[in-house]
Chain A
């Protein structure tokens, strides 16, 4: 079965640079979620989109922005990167916003040096 696709899988950036993470949800899933998982921590919800509109917002820094496109893929844009942004970034998708089962992609490991 098709799963959530994330790219790139690994990314190394320097402080103050920008990064763009991409997420392609499972086919027919119209809701995407972004999570950040720091070393030794549990995933923290950042933001979610349903039908190309932001549906919920969590602890996402103002330096980050995200959007969902007409084909339902989503991009997380991160600017002015800081060392503390180094983490695993997961995208998850669900069939629609009212369904709680979320399926996670393999993640993008971001390292900021």
Chain B
């Protein structure tokens, strides 16, 4: 089993839609989790950190289910500018520094 697994998509949704991505991780000792977004040929940008059961920032909500070892990202009222690849990221075990990336979920928001 890969350390971090995501549904690669692509997800194609209309503007205004609500879309959710799931991510599963293998290391039950992981304490923190991140969602990054990456636009084509650009650097990953930190979208959200998750340390407890979840986090919310405007239209974005992340939820953590430790028992099932998955993290979800919910985007409400999708905008065209939300089109990107969303990366689920987990520090490797309890070792700081080594971030393990999922393969990314591609989101395209269309008019």
Interface residues of A (CB under 8 A from B): 31, 33, 35, 41-45, 48, 50, 55-56, 58, 88, 90, 97-107, 109
| Nearest CB in chain B to that of A56: its residue | B97
Which residues from chain A contact B103 at a C-beta distance below 8 Å?
41-42
- A42, B87: Cβ atoms closer than 8 Å: yes
Q: Interface size class for chain B?
A: 20 to 34
B45 at the interface (CB under 8 A from A): yes
Interface residues of B (CB under 8 A from A): 32, 34, 41-46, 49, 87, 91-92, 95-104
Which residues from chain B contact A33 at a C-beta distance below 8 Å?
97, 99
- A97, B101: Cβ atoms closer than 8 Å: no
Could you show 27 A-B contacts with beta carbons less than 8 Å apart?
Answer: A35-B99, A42-B87, A42-B101, A42-B102, A43-B99, A45-B92, A45-B97, A45-B98, A45-B99, A48-B98, A50-B97, A55-B96, A55-B97, A56-B96, A97-B96, A98-B96, A100-B32, A100-B34, A100-B49, A100-B91, A100-B96, A100-B99, A101-B46, A101-B49, A102-B46, A105-B43, A107-B42
- B101, A43: Cβ atoms closer than 8 Å: yes
Given contact pairs A56-B96, A100-B99, enumerate 19 new A-B contacts (beta carbons under 8 Å): A33-B97, A41-B103, A42-B101, A43-B99, A45-B99, A45-B100, A48-B98, A55-B97, A56-B97, A90-B44, A97-B96, A100-B34, A100-B91, A101-B49, A103-B46, A104-B44, A104-B45, A106-B43, A107-B42
Which residues from chain B contact A99 at a C-beta distance below 8 Å?
96
